[in-house]
Structure 1
């Protein structure tokens, strides 16, 4: 289980804290959804949870064990909003084997199968894939690492409705074996698969029931 306790992130150059006294509980094999506008601190929170940034105060715990940045880098796998910007391999095979040169073809195919890309040629360029396929490949890269926690930054942003639906279905499948924390400014179809939800505004995280957000979203659509 992931715990955040009184987490604060306040860089010295900023007049106000980016994250203020943040508390969160996320059980294993559940999908947590954090919803907030741009600049609310969502990406910063993921950077802390993936060990790319250190909080000013407070702690991150996994199964009641406090973790430092180096341990979080092993625990969590982060899928960026635009993963194609971070691809370094010339082919899908090279991308999946980065940092794992000993990885056999069976493991590679297994990772691709988990994200529905088993039909692709391993010699294809990651940059030649569609936006939805690139998000799936980025997930496969993280799954190969076998992290305990998957972090996703705006996973459905920029995708058409069909690719969004495919990705949501994939995340629903993955949460059967993994713990996922997703941040987004537009919850959309993600609400239907979320076990726990929070809103993040001006650095303040508040818990809210997924059903409440779904109802509000449906009412907004009906009013249009």
Structure 2
């Protein structure tokens, strides 16, 4: 897990500007020389923007992604679905910085509350992206929960401020995923399936990513663990921008703010889940009607 020291407010959040004095146009005799102060609140927001991304692996002649474009505002839950082999995981790898697009851009754009850009777009830095792969517990390497979470953190000696910062990050991550009561000495491989997923999330959340990517977060879990993870994601979307690839559409439906279908050939199309479910239902009825 890459480490970075960037507060969430550096790209996301609201700010309060200096007080603005409002002077009435009424005559002075009616004003009594009073001034009214108004606090102007600016609700700037940021948005992940992927624009016309194509990707062709080096040494090949076929694009795995073709003209992929979408946007996801901060603290939103985005869902990408589609057939296996259509390019979903490839897109996640580009967002995480494991590969670079052949063409196109991936950046963060900040907007005013009127929806106008108020600064130049900034590239999405890989160190600010947290990614949890399918079956993340298979990649645990440490013998204790504490060592697993802090694996990959800076090993050089730091002063009290750095230690306090890391400790606060760790505590916040554990609070977010509900691991407060767990022993830090516990073997991560001995945890239940649901708690292993919580730990995998805590590893990425300890450094507060600008974007959290999840690849099939419900895969391989029993019904109770699946319900627990869905409940956890509902809480996390209040704090983070989340992008999920999943086939478990019904279970995640209530969390989704924006959704896209990846079609074979690496073409991404925005599609609301309700529309998708209705089209599937119509297709089932048509199939049943054919003798």
Q: Same fold (TM over 0.5)?
A: yes
The partner residue of 1:140 within 193, 202, 220 is: 202
Report the number of matched residues: 221
Whole-angstrom CA distance in 2 between matches of 1:106 and 1:12 = 42
Whole-angstrom CA distance in 2 between matches of 1:60 and 1:77 = 15
Question: Relative to 1, partners in 2 of residues 1:220 and 1:94: Cα closer, same or farther, differing over 3 Å?
Answer: farther
Q: Give the structure with the larger helix fraction.
A: 1
Does the aligned pair in 1 maintain the 2:135–2:220 contact within 8 Å? Answer: no
The partner residue of 1:55 within 81, 101, 106 is: 101
Whole-angstrom CA distance in 1 between matches of 2:282 and 2:174 = 38
Structure 1 residue aligned with 2:134: 81
Spell out the pairing of 1:68-217 with structure 2 (5 A cutoff).
Answer: 72-98=125-151, 99-100=153-154, 102=163, 107-202=169-264, 203-215=266-278
Does the aligned pair in 2 maintain the 1:92–1:126 contact within 8 Å? Answer: yes
Question: Relative to 1, partners in 2 of residues 1:190 and 1:137: Cα closer, same or farther, differing over 3 Å?
Answer: same
**Superposition deviation, residue 107 in structure 1:** 4.2
Bigger relative contact order (CA 8 A; separation at least 6): 1
Tell me the TM-score normalised to structure 1 length. Answer: 0.89
**Superposition deviation, residue 15 in structure 1:** 4.0
CA RMSD of aligned residues (A): 2.4
| SS across alignment from 1:188 | helix
Structure 2 stretches lacking a partner, 5+ long: 1-46, 110-119, 156-162
Question: Relative to 1, partners in 2 of residues 1:89 and 1:213: Cα closer, same or farther, differing over 3 Å?
Answer: same
Out of 122-131 and 95-104, give the one that drifted further: 95-104
Does the aligned pair in 2 maintain the 1:9–1:56 contact within 8 Å? Answer: yes
Structure 1 stretches lacking a partner, 5+ long: none
Question: Relative to 1, partners in 2 of residues 1:89 and 1:195: Cα closer, same or farther, differing over 3 Å?
Answer: same
Tell me the TM-score normalised to structure 2 length. Answer: 0.70
Whole-angstrom CA distance in 1 between matches of 2:234 and 2:284 = 24
